[in-house]
Amino acid sequence: MIRLIPSLPALYVAARVVWPSPWPLAVKLAATVLLIAASQYHLWSRLSSGSVFAPEFPRPVVILFNGAFGALALAAPMLLALDAVALVGWAVPGGGWAVPLAWRYAAVLAALVLAALAVAQAVRVPPLKDVTVAIPDLPPAFDGYTLLHLSDLHLSRLFPAPWAEAVVTRANALRTDLIVVTGDFIDGALSSRRDDVAPLRALTAPDGVWAVPGNHEYFFDYEAWMRHLGGMGIRMLVNAHTVLQREGGALVLAGVTDRSAPATGHPGPDLAAALAGAPAEAPVVLLDHQPGNAAKAAAQGVRLQLSGHTHGGMIRGLDRLVARGNAGFVSGAYRVGGMVLYVSNGTALWPGFALRLGRPSELTRITLRAGGALG
């Protein structure tokens, strides 16, 4: 049952720090067992709920698991770097430098501190980030229009009802014209998360709360979640659009399903269907959980696409790997042809890897302005 690949960092830390230490054998064995146990966090999550995406432990346990798992993920490359330098030293004539045990202790301590900071950054109620987007053909009545972009709430044991209540309170206090959510509302079945999502019912904005599903909705009972979220006043744009009207001007808000939907037997994203019947002269704001199809959206005349999914890459440096799986898009604003793509770092993130270093969570307030180039 032990998963080999996640255990490798734990075994490396044990081999380079625990076993060279002058500790009693029983202590070394106990430390090694604890390291391997921490590395198997996703196995314990699966055993707790049947899914690696929904650890059903008390919140403090989920936080400790993330901290321990993160410390291993950070300590192993630090120790490997020290050993690589020592190996180079051995290869140089007159070399033979060895890594002092104290340096290895320091690397582990640094990893523990960074992991604790990373988890604290991940689980906080996110700060506000203001973004201005210029749209060339924006009707004058929508100049200065504000929308709040939420994404990747991942409501779960790690992000439970009190956290959701704090997010909703902060969101409503911003008094934006519109609130949009680009998917990944939950991690868990409706029976487990009903109380955690309940605070979202209080989200309010003059032009409503609109959303699209993320890939995590399809990991659980998708139909049940769509019905439940719709019943809470969150209007889902499932390959569909709505038209916002102000003083004779119009703005189209469209939404598509997630790219992962066909794998579970559900309709995939269909922008043509989403825009069918939309007024041709109105600029389009598109909600798409994943940013990978941005070039296609730009080619179909979308002016602004809002996405999430990447969590901003979570850790600076790691974000470059995340970008490779998302057509190069990972965090912030991008110009894609005549369209602006904004990729949110996420309001929260998956509780299976709740670490943030240099890629903070965010509540994103977007102000639309008339003007700008078509690109």
pLDDT tens digits for 85-130? 888 877 776 666 788 999 999 999 999 999 999 999 999 999 999 9
pLDDT tens digits for 41-82? 999 999 999 999 999 999 999 999 999 999 999 999 999 999
Across the range 199-219, mean pLDDT stands at 97
Torsion, Cα of 331, 335, 341, 342 (10° steps): 40
Cα torsion 81, 82, 85, 87: sign: negative
pLDDT at 374 over 60: no
Task: Quote the pLDDT of residue 68.
Answer: 97
Q: How confident is the model at residue 367 (pLDDT cuts 50, 70, 90)?
A: very high
Task: Quote the pLDDT of residue 2.
Answer: 63
Q: In terms of pLDDT, which residue wins out, 131 or 248?
A: 131
Cα(317)–Cα(320) distance, integer angstroms:
6
Residue 119 contacts by C-beta under 8 Å, 6 or more apart in sequence? 63, 66, 67, 70, 354, 355
pLDDT tens digits for 335-366? 999 999 999 999 999 999 999 999 999 999 99
Percentage of residues in the chain having pLDDT higher than 90: 90
Q: How confident is the model at residue 371 (pLDDT cuts 50, 70, 90)?
A: confident
Q: How confident is the model at residue 375 (pLDDT cuts 50, 70, 90)?
A: very low
Across the range 238-244, mean pLDDT stands at 98
The backbone region for 148, taken as left when phi is positive above 0, alpha when psi lies in -120 to 50, beta otherwise, is beta
Name the nearest CA neighbour of 341 among 331, 351, 350.
331
Report the amino acid identity of residue 89.
G
Tell me if 124 sits within 8 A of 361, measured CB to CB. Answer: yes
Instruction: List phi, psi (to 5°) of 102.
Output: -60, -35
Tell me if 332 sits within 8 A of 342, measured CB to CB. Answer: yes
Q: DSSP label at 126?
A: P
Task: Quote the pLDDT of residue 373.
Answer: 55
Mean pLDDT of the chain: 95
Least confident interval from 1-15, 238-252, 284-298:
1-15
pTM for this prediction: 0.95
